[in-house]
A = this chain, B = another copy of it.
């Protein structure tokens, strides 16, 4: 049998020998940088066309008249292989000439916008102005960048995350980026969530998936907004046995960002158990790091299976390893 194939095509022998877990339809709920590590692993170890990613858009913001969707872009750039992997966001080898000039015109520059990245926001804003939906814009961007997985914003309707803080209400990006997560969080609101509609395909992707993965993102402001979109949490509950959540807290610290601090300020435990309590109603299997194995009993008591896997993903090999383990659970 001739197994020579064009570059980029899998040899037939590999397809025939593909293990069953590689043929699973996977739907992932994701935020930005933290989620993208696991998603890149999944993208590489499975058929990426069988992967659907439902992305938080609570972080979306309009700046300088441009519609910016940070989590959608982080996921897309990461899977496209163009992301600045040191920062986890934006394009590699990016320049910031335009932002510097915008600041020269007296415009705010606390939100970093690179020159290449601006093209994404200009393109998306132009498509929306032409009457396209956010999900159509996201699809245009991911296909142009050659990403084979479906990337769905959780909703085409705006659902901005508002942080009620000791400094008053702040848009999430103002809280995180402009104010560097310094204000004390007193509450979190997903404005407009009640009347938001899930993007076409979101409910189907949850309904039809062989396995649903909750990425290791901030449970409050990355996964929280997705869960707040009508029918999403209810449908996850109905498919609870298929839901695998990867805990974003290891040893009482966030893998990325201010999750631990926010959990504590809102009266949750900043631990794996604390996150497990937030997810118990819709999660069948909770994945924790070996560092947290002492919490297995307490988490099991919430009615979830507990899997212990290394969840700290600094290298590509660690990302692929966790992804493969999740598919084989």
Asked whether A141 is an interface residue with its Cβ less than 8 Å from the other chain, the reply is: yes
Q: A65-B129, A123-B107, A125-B65 are in contact. Are A115 and B98 (CB under 8 A)?
A: yes
Contact B126 A64 (CB under 8 A): yes
A51 to chain B, nearest CB (A): 22
Q: Chain B residues with Cβ under 8 A from A102's Cβ?
A: 119, 122-123
Within A81-124, the residues touching B (CB, 8 Å) are 91, 94-95, 97-102, 104-107, 115-116, 118-120, 122-123
Contact A144 B64 (CB under 8 A): no
Stoichiometry, copies per complex: 2
Q: Chain B residues with Cβ under 8 A from A195's Cβ?
A: none
Question: With A and B bound together, what is the CA distance between A91 and B101 in angstroms?
Answer: 11
- A118 nearest CB neighbor, chain B only: B98
Interface centre among A94, A97, A120, A140 (most CB of B within 10 A): A97
- A126 nearest CB neighbor, chain B only: B65
A136 to chain B, nearest CB (A): 13
Contact A120 B101 (CB under 8 A): yes
Question: With A and B bound together, what is the CA distance between A91 and B66 in angstroms?
Answer: 22
Q: Chain B residues with Cβ under 8 A from A123's Cβ?
A: 64, 102, 105, 107
Mark each residue of chain A from 45 to 84: 1 if its CB lies under 8 Å from any CB of chain B, else 0.
0000000000000000000111000000000000000000
- A130 nearest CB neighbor, chain B only: B65
Contact A115 B144 (CB under 8 A): no
Q: Name the one of B104, B106, B119, B141 contacting A98, with C-beta atoms under 8 angstroms.
A: B119
Mark each residue of chain A from 140 to 161: 1 if its CB lies under 8 Å from any CB of chain B, else 0.
1100110000000000000000
A174 to chain B, nearest CB (A): 18
A299 to chain B, nearest CB (A): 44
Q: Chain B residues with Cβ under 8 A from A141's Cβ?
A: 105
Q: Name the one of B97, B126, B129 contacting A95, with C-beta atoms under 8 angstroms.
A: B97
* 10 CB < 8 A contacts A-B: A64-B126, A97-B119, A98-B116, A98-B118, A102-B119, A102-B122, A104-B144, A104-B145, A107-B123, A115-B115
Besides A98-B119, A100-B119, A105-B144, 10 more A-B contacts (Cβ < 8 Å) are A64-B126, A91-B101, A95-B97, A97-B116, A97-B119, A101-B119, A106-B140, A107-B123, A107-B126, A122-B122
